[in-house]
Amino acid sequence: MTAGVVIVGAGQGGFQLAASLRQDGFDRPVTLIGEEPGLPYQRPPLSKAYMADGAGERLVLKPAAFFERAGIERLAGLRVTAIDRAARRVALSDGTHRDYAQLVLATGARNLRPPLPGLDAPGVLGLRTLADAARLRAALVHARAAVVIGGGFIGLEFAAMARQAGLGVTVLEAGERLMARAVSPVCSDWFAALHRAMGTEVRLGCAAAGVETDAAGRACAVTLADGGRVAADLILVAAGVRPNVELAAEAGVAVDNGIVVDGCLRSSDPAIFALGDCAAFPLPGTGQVRFESVQAAVEHARHIARAITTGAETAFAMVPWFWSDQGKARLQIAGIAAGADAVQPVPQPAEGCFMALAWAGDRLAAVETVGLAAQHVAARRLIGAPRALIAAAGFDLRQALLAGAER
CATH number, position 368: 3.30.390.30
Q: Report the distance separating Cα 17 and Cα 349, nearest Å.
A: 43
Model confidence at 270, pLDDT cuts 50, 70, 90, reads: very high
Q: Are residues 199 and 53 in the same domain?
A: no
Are 47 and 164 in contact, with CB atoms under 8 Å apart? no
Q: What is the model's pLDDT at position 379?
A: 96
64 and 21 within one domain: yes
Within 165-293, residue ranges assigned H as helices are 185-198, 246-250
Q: Is there a single domain that holds both residue 93 and residue 171?
A: no
- Of 267, 259, 327, the residue nearest 107 (C-alpha): 259
Label residue 397 exposed, middle or buried (CB < 10 Å: 0-12, 13-18, 19+): buried
141 and 60 both lie in a single domain: no
Please provide the size of the chain in residues: 407
Residues β-bridged to residue 326: 329
Percent of the chain surpassing pLDDT 70: 99
The C-alpha atoms of residue 272 and residue 125 are separated, in whole angstroms, by: 34
Strands 363-370 and 109-111: unpaired
Considering 195, 223, 239, which residue would you say is the last residue of a domain?
A: 239
How far is Cα 273 from Cα 300, in angstroms, rounded to an integer?
Answer: 10
Q: What is the DSSP string of 319-380?
A: --EEEEEETTEEEEEEE--TT-SEEEE---SSTT-EEEEEEETTEEEEEEEES-HHHHHHHH
Q: Assess if residue 316 is contained within a domain.
A: no
Q: What is the pLDDT of residues 208-232, one digit of tens each?
A: 999 999 999 999 999 999 999 999 9
Closest Cα partner for 75 from 85, 64, 84, 86? 64
Q: How confident is the model at residue 52 (pLDDT cuts 50, 70, 90)?
A: confident
Strands 234-237, 4-8: pairing kind: unpaired
Domains in the chain, number: 3
Same domain, 210 and 145: yes
Note the pLDDT of residue 349.
85
Pairing of strands 329-335, 363-370: antiparallel
Sign of CA dihedral 246, 251, 256, 262: negative
Please give the Cα distance from 368 to 355 (Å, whole number): 5
Average pLDDT over residues 385-389: 95
Q: Is 385 helix (H, G, I), strand (E, B) or coil?
A: coil
Measured CA to CA, the distance from residue 398 to residue 152 in angstroms comes to 29
Q: Give 59-91 pLDDT, tens digit per residue.
A: 999 999 999 999 999 999 999 999 999 999 999
Contact 397, 336 (CB under 8 A): no
* Residues 145-191 pLDDT 10s: 999 999 999 999 999 999 999 999 999 999 999 999 999 999 999 99
**Could you write out the DSSP letters of every residue in 68-92?**
HHHTEEEEES--EEEEETTTTEEEE
Considering the domain boundaries, does residue 320 fall inside one?
Answer: no
Using the predicted structure, report yes or no on whether residue 273 has a pLDDT greater than 80. yes
Both 175 and 198 in a single domain? yes
Give a yes or no: residue 317 inside a domain.
Answer: no
Q: Is the pLDDT of residue 407 over 70?
A: no
Q: Is residue 224 in some structural domain?
A: yes
φ, ψ (nearest 5 deg) of residue 357: -110, 130
On whether both 101 and 246 belong to a single domain, the answer is: yes
Query: Between the CA of residue 158 and those of 25, 172, 235, what are the distances in Å?
Result: 41, 13, 11
Answer yes or no: are the C-beta atoms of 169 and 162 closer than 8 Å. yes
Q: Which residue has the higher pLDDT, 52 or 331?
A: 331
pLDDT-based confidence at residue 405 (cuts at 50, 70, 90): low
CA 288 from centroid of its chain's CA atoms: 17
Burial (Cβ within 10 Å: 0-12, 13-18, ≥19) of residue 179: buried
Which amino acid belongs to residue 375?
Q
The CATH number of the domain holding residue 268 is: 3.50.50.60
Same domain flag for 106 and 248 = yes
Phi, psi of 326 (to 5 degrees): -125, 100
Residue ending a domain, among 185, 207, 239, is 239
Task: Write the pLDDT tens digit of every residue in 6-21.
Answer: 999 999 999 999 999 9
Q: Which of 192, 214, 239 is the last residue of a domain?
A: 239
Handedness of CA 87, 100, 102, 320 (dihedral sign): negative
Confidence band (pLDDT; 50, 70, 90) for 285? confident
Q: What is the mean pLDDT of the chain?
A: 95
Q: Per-residue pLDDT tens for 345-384? A: 999 988 999 999 999 999 999 999 999 999 999 999 999 9
Q: Are 261 and 248 in contact (CB under 8 A)?
A: no
pLDDT at residue 281, rounded to an integer: 96
pLDDT, residue 387, reads 95
Q: Does some domain include residue 322? A: no
pLDDT band at 238 (very low <50, low <70, confident <90, very high): very high
The answer to whether residues 278 and 349 belong to one domain is: no
pLDDT, tens digit, 9 for 90 and up, residues 292-326:
999 999 999 999 999 999 998 999 988 899 999 99
- What is the pLDDT, as a whole number, of residue 337? 85
Return left, alpha or beta for 21; rule: phi > 0 is left, psi -120 to 50 is alpha, else beta. alpha
Q: What is the mean pLDDT of residues 45-55?
A: 88
Q: Is the Cβ–Cβ distance between 368 and 331 less than 8 Å?
A: yes
Rounded distance between C-alpha atoms, residue 59 and residue 12, angstroms: 11
Query: Which domain, by its residues, includes 292?
Result: 5-110+242-310
70 with 219, same domain: the answer is no
70 and 124 share one domain: no
57 CB-near residues (< 8 Å, 6+ apart): none
Are residue 229 and residue 144 in the same domain, yes or no? yes
